[in-house]
Copies of this chain bind each other. A is one copy, B any other.
Amino acid sequence: MTSSKKYVYAFEEGDGKNKMLLGGKGANLCEMTQIGLNVPPGFTASTDACNAYLEKNQLPPGLMDEIRTHMAALEKKTGKGFGDAKNPLLISVRSGAAMSMPGMMDTILNLGLNEVSLKGLITQTGNERFAYDAYRRFIQLFGKIALNISDEHFDERMVAIKRKYGAPQDVDLNTEHLKELAGEFLAIVQRQTGQAFPQDPFVQLEIAVGAVFRSWMGKRAVDYRKQFRITKAQANGTAVSICTMVFGNMGNDSGTGVGFTRNPGTGENVIYGEYLVNAQGEDVVAGIRTPKAIAEMEQEMPEIHRQLIQLRSRLESHYHEVQDFEFTIEKGILYCLQTRNGKMNARAMVRTSVEMFHQGLITKERALLRTEPAVLEQLLVPQLAPNFHAKSLAQGLSASPGAASGKIVFDADTAETRGRAGEKIILVREETKPEDIHGFFQAQGILTSRGGKTSHAAVVARGMGKPCVSGCEQIVINDQLRSAKVGDTVLREGDVITIDGGTGHVYAGEIPTVEAEFSEEMNTLLGWADEVAALKVMANADSPVDALRAREFGAMGIGLCRTERMFNATDRLPIVQEMILAETLEERQAALDRLLPIQRADFKGIFKAMKGLPVTVRLLDPPMHEFLPTAAQLELEIAHLHQLRDTIKALEDLPETLKMLNPKLYQQYADGLTPLMGALGTFKKSHMEDEVIAKKEKILKKVRALAEVNPMLGHRGVRLGITYPEIYSMQIRAILEAAALCGKQGIEIYPEIMVPQVATVEELKRIHSYVQRIRQEVRATHGIDVQFKFGSMLEVVRACMRSGRMAEIAEFFSFGTNDLSQATFSFSREDAENKFLPFYNETGILEDNPFEVLDIKGVGQLMKMAVQNGRVTNPDLKVGICGEHGGHPGSIRFCHHIKLNYVSCSGPRVPIARLAAAQAKLLEDQYREPV
């Protein structure tokens, strides 16, 4: 029988874990009560009651009886009377489902007020104005929510009263005005419902409970659940919590405030928060009075302060997490109204994790799991200086992290010109398009007034690692005037602004930024992570400086050392170009002979920097034409040279021309012309020898011969190594000789040689034969048999398909997921991010940018297969990833799942990867692959 069913639970008895039954709010109140916090007493009508109500559109039998029983208990506990004329009990009627749906359902405050209890409230507070204000608010809220009267009726009266008494703001209305208003509100209820405002508190309560239940099926709530895909299994209706009202405005022994159990900005282990004496929560929001720091309470209300300190301990020891709580002091009694896990910045998360572990509040495991690895990025990109004082002009979306300052520019062409000229530029546009790409290259950061986190600007900026704030709608851009307005502020081209891509804030002027910071606690936490993780975390680094920096970030080796970056250094590039332009093997070898000692020194430096740890050197990868100027550049230079030659020719002809056209004029100038002609000859000799043109034309010819339709899929990587064996041979020799020299100095080194772009087993075999030959030669010369590993990139789809055979030769694999993702999607990254990928992300065709977040369904499956087949051949095969995905937490989780040995990522992402690797291990049992 329904009447036998229990619907109502006192806070003392409800199960604090049973959110499905009591809602999040109700469960929280129960839990707080039961751990001994002084929560304003109350009780909760369950979601079962809600569902019973919704089914029959009436409160289930017995519910009101239970509620009356609990109300009687409340009266007893508080010593107050519901509707009482002296010491009235007022209550709040609050909604609350198992999943948080902020603002989507209704809550009524101060229920129990009527003409009688109003007087009691005045007595209690000694504040008539407050009482009438509460009364008129209650009538409006109840009218709207419980009686379904439109707000506009009430608002109209409010406006009229203010006009009548010349009161600009609500707060300017005095007691009399509010009294009059309350009267008018009661009249509105009478008019709109045809009945008087219910004076019986229990009638009020019965209507209110039904109204809150109904709000579960209100349009807002239904839309919200649809939008966020909240299923019935996650939240099955709202509970109703009925809670005693407490007032912080009952005199100087009362007050209200919010607190954090620790400082959410720094993580420091001190109570943190603000309070106001003799005030209600809404006074804080209204901003009329400035709250004080909780620290000051120690002087002002020492006993309450002591209780708060106690409250803080109790919260943390129960919740094992930093808490963000609300409190009210009513006549010297501290009530805790609400608590939840505190939101903190990355620095605070790290510090509290370590300190809470040391206090025994949380386990190491919990310490590692409670921080989202990606938030560490905040600590690893340039940030606004921590103590800057500036008011944000506007806030958009945090589209790409990091902070940057620069002069505003409203179009890409200008950005390019001014950027090239060395100015720091922020490109500001309504939205960006593929045509704007050249502007991105020269800008410090990008700000758009339209577009989301997956808009063109956002995607491209993230791809380039530049800060971006997108969708900052407060900024109104006028392209014609080359200016923008934010409220009343006008920003003109050339004005300096600062953007913070981590928060979305935009500031006028330049704000100093600081580089990444690496705290003691971070080291401790990541040390724990390393103990737990199965995956090793390596860094991508191309120089001794990068290598040392990566080591500081905690890299356990170099997973990718790109030798071409060394080729591009200004002192080497001419030699590299000489090698490329060589027309014979001898010429090429001569250039390579000059590169050998340079590369050997590079490798020696890196090996030393990474002593004791593995260093994986990738042989030359990019196509040759990347080391030469572009055809367009050369054509322009040649055209200029030709023009210069023509001009000189015209000058040379000048005397003759003049003589012919105007002999008289010629006579006049003849003397002056001779030295001019002489100077011309000298200039020509020193500058214009046809050789220069010839040389440029030779380079141009080579550039054209090397030009490729799809350079991404062209003559590069191992294909170069095979067609020009002398290039790879030089690099291999440089590696092995550097290793031998380090060996002689007693430096412990673990070199690994990695071949890029491998597609066929035969390619790998050929390079392996070079390596074997050179190893013998180095042994003969240096007397040391260098120990090293030989392996292959898996960045070509075919290599993944052939991994079983590849593993016969390779001792390790490294997934190059940048290239592999391009090949798997047939998306050229540059083209995709610039042309269609933002659209794909915005319209949900792809959830993520596959060049940032590993595509597990496609690329991931290829990887999984490749690992499995490789390990069939060689169970000890070492497998890693060195694409950008190696630094992305979700991707790392998948890498752990398919049993990779390591991930390698850019130095600054190493800490993120270390934490993510630990979490992957801790959560491995819960991992499910997407389908």
> Measured between alpha carbons, how far is A284 from B802 in the docked complex, in Å?
55
Contact with B along A849-877 (1 / 0, CB 8 A): 00000010111011000000000000000
Q: Is A839 an interface residue (CB 8 A)?
A: yes
A271 at the interface (CB under 8 A from B): no
Q: How far is the CA of A831 from the CA of B623 in the complex (A)?
A: 11
Chain A contacts with B in 774-807, Cβ cutoff 8 A: 795-798, 801-802, 805
Task: Map CB proximity to B onto A816-851 as digits: 1 under 8 Å, 0 otherwise.
Answer: 000100111111101110011001100111100000
Residue among A434, A705, A798, A801 facing the most chain B CB atoms (10 A cut-off): A798
Which residue on B lies nearest to A663, using beta carbons?
Answer: B662
Taking a contact as CB atoms under 8 Å apart, the answer to whether A819 and B826 are in contact is yes
Q: Are A826 and B796 in contact (CB under 8 A)?
A: yes
- How far apart are A800's CB and chain B's nearest CB, in angstroms? 9
Known: A835-B715, A855-B798. A827 touches B708 (CB 8 A): no
Tell whether A711 is near chain B: CB-to-CB under 8 Å. yes
Q: How far is the CA of A54 from the CA of B852 in the complex (A)?
A: 68
Contact: A858 with B711, CB < 8 Å? no
Q: Contact partner of A828 among B704, B714, B763, B796, CB < 8 A?
A: B714
Instruction: Tell me, in angstroms, the Cα distance from A907 to B421 when the chains sit together.
Output: 58
Is A548 in contact with chain B by the CB < 8 A criterion? no
Is B709 in contact with A760, judged by CB distance below 8 angstroms? no
Contact assessment for A827 and B723 in the assembled complex, using a CB-CB cutoff below 8 Å: no
Q: Which residue of B lies closest to A710 (CB)?
A: B828
Residues on B with C-beta less than 8 A from A858 are 759-760, 797-798, 801-802
The contact of A723 among B662, B822, B823, B839, by CB within 8 Å, is B839
Query: How long is the Cα–Cα vector from A662 to B709 in the complex, in angstroms?
Result: 56
Q: What residue of chain B has the Cβ atom nearest to residue A757's Cβ?
A: B826
A305 adjacent to chain B (CB < 8 Å) = no
Query: Measured between alpha carbons, how far is A836 from B759 in the docked complex, in Å?
Result: 13
Q: Is the CB of B831 within 8 A of A763?
A: no
- Contacting B at CB under 8 A, from A698-739, are 701, 704-705, 708-715, 719, 722-723
B845 and A760 contacting across the interface, CB-CB below 8 Å: yes
* A835-B710 contact in complex given A762-B846, A823-B797, A826-B757, C-beta closer than 8 Å: no
Q: Is A435 part of the binding interface, using a Cβ–Cβ cutoff of 8 Å?
A: yes
Q: Is A711's CB under 8 angstroms from B714's CB?
A: no
Q: Which residues of B contact A801 (CB under 8 A)?
A: 824, 857-858, 861-862
When C-beta atoms are compared, the residue in chain B nearest to A819 turns out to be: B826
Which of B661, B713, B843, B859 interacts with A831 by CB under 8 Å?
B713
CB of A928 to closest CB in B, whole Å:
16
Give the residue of B709, B835, B931 whose beta carbon is less than 8 angstroms from that of A830.
B709
Which one of B435, B798, B826 contacts A825 once the chains associate, using CB atoms below 8 Å?
B798
Asked if A713 contacts B715 (CB within 8 A), the reply is: no
A766 beta carbon closer than 8 Å to chain B: yes
In the complex, the chain B residue whose C-beta lies closest to that of A804 is B931
Other-chain contact of A823, B719, B802, B826 (Cβ < 8 Å): B826
CA distance A714 to B805 in the complex (A): 32
- Known contacts: A858-B798, A861-B801. The answer to whether A708 contacts B831 by CB under 8 A is yes
Partner of A710, one of B713, B762, B795, B824: B713
Q: A855 contacts which chain B residues (CB < 8 A)?
A: 798
User: How far, in whole Å, are A766 and B707 apart by their CA atoms in the complex?
Assistant: 37
B759 touches A827 (CB 8 A): yes
A798 adjacent to B824 (CB under 8 Å): yes
Residues on the B chain within 8 Å of A766, using CB:
845
Residue of B nearest to A858 (CB): B798
Known A798-B859, A836-B719: A845·B763 in contact at CB below 8 Å: yes
CB contact under 8 A between A797 and B824, given known A714-B831, A836-B722, A844-B762: yes
A639 to chain B: closest residue by CB: B639
Known: A801-B858, A826-B823, A855-B798. A710 touches B831 (CB 8 A): yes
B contact residues around A714 at 8 Å (CB): 828, 831-832, 835
A373 to chain B, nearest CB (A): 27
Most buried by B among A661, A831, A836, A861: A831
5 sampled A-B residue pairs with Cβ under 8 A:
A435-B705, A713-B827, A757-B826, A801-B857, A823-B823
Apart from A661-B665, A713-B827, A763-B845, 16 more pairs, CB < 8 Å: A435-B701, A708-B835, A709-B711, A710-B711, A712-B713, A713-B828, A719-B835, A719-B836, A762-B844, A796-B825, A797-B823, A797-B862, A798-B858, A801-B857, A802-B858, A805-B931
Q: Which 3 pairs between the two chains have the least Cβ-Cβ distance?
A: A710-B828, A713-B828, A798-B858
